[in-house]
Structure 1
Amino acid sequence: MIRYRDLIGAKVVEKKNGERIGEISDVIFKEDFQSFVGFLIKGGKILKQKKTIELERVTSFGKDAIMIDLGKNLSIKNSNIEEGITEEEIKFIDKEILTQDGECLGYVKDLLFSKDDGKLIGYIITEGLIEDITKGRSFIPNFSNVKTNKEHLIVDNEVKDLISKNKEKYKKLLELVER
Structure 2
Amino acid sequence: MRTFSLLKGMPVYSRNGELLGEVCDICIGEEGKVTDLLLQVKGIIGKKLRLPVSSISSYGEDGIMVEDLDRHSKYQETEGEYTMHHGQSLSRKAAMTPDGEQLGLLDDVYFLEKEGKIVGYELTDGFFSDITEGKRVIRTLEPPNIGKDAIILSAMNQRGGQIHDEMPELSKQGPW
Q: Tell me the TM-score range normalised by the shorter chain.
A: 0.7 to 0.9
- State the distance in 2 between where 1:54 and 1:146 align: 21
How far 1:154 sits from its partner (Å)?
2.4
Aligned residue number for residue 21 of structure 1: 20
How far 1:43 sits from its partner (Å)?
1.2
How far 1:101 sits from its partner (Å)?
4.8
Task: Point out 4+ residue stretches in structure 1 off by more than 3 angstroms.
Answer: 75-79, 81-84, 99-103
Aligned residue number for residue 123 of structure 2: 125
User: Residue 28 of structure 1 contacts residue 84 of structure 1 at CA under 8 Å; is this kept in 2?
Assistant: no
Quickly say closer, same or farther: Cα 1:98–1:174, change in 2 above 3 A. Answer: same
Aligned residue number for residue 11 of structure 1: 11
- Pick from 106, 109, 112 the counterpart of residue 104 of structure 2: 106
How far 1:83 sits from its partner (Å)?
6.8
How far 1:20 sits from its partner (Å)?
0.8
How far 1:2 sits from its partner (Å)?
0.8
How many pairs does the alignment contain? 165
Q: Deviations over 1:25-59 (max 9, x none)?
A: 22122232x211222222147x9732222212211
- State the distance in 2 between where 1:44 and 1:84 align: 28
Structure having the higher Rg: 1
- Equivalent residue letter for 2:81: I
Can you give the 5+ residue segments of structure 1 that lack an aligned partner in the other structure?
A: none
Q: Deviations over 1:46-76 (max 9, x none)?
A: x9732222212211111111111136x5x84
- Equivalent residue letter for 1:136: G
Q: TM-score with structure 2 length normalisation? A: 0.75
Aligned residue number for residue 144 of structure 1: 142
- State the distance in 1 between where 2:14 and 2:81 align: 25
Can you give the 5+ residue segments of structure 2 that lack an aligned partner in the other structure?
A: none
How far 1:111 sits from its partner (Å)?
0.8
- State the distance in 2 between where 1:122 and 1:147 align: 14
CA RMSD of aligned residues (A): 3.3
User: Residue 28 of structure 1 contacts residue 37 of structure 1 at CA under 8 Å; is this kept in 2?
Assistant: yes
How far 1:84 sits from its partner (Å)?
6.6
Quickly say closer, same or farther: Cα 1:125–1:77, change in 2 above 3 A. Answer: closer
Q: TM-score with structure 1 length normalisation? A: 0.74
Q: Equivalent residue of 2:6, what SS?
A: helix
How far 1:172 sits from its partner (Å)?
2.2
- State the distance in 1 between where 2:72 and 2:128 align: 44
1:2 aligns with 2:2: yes
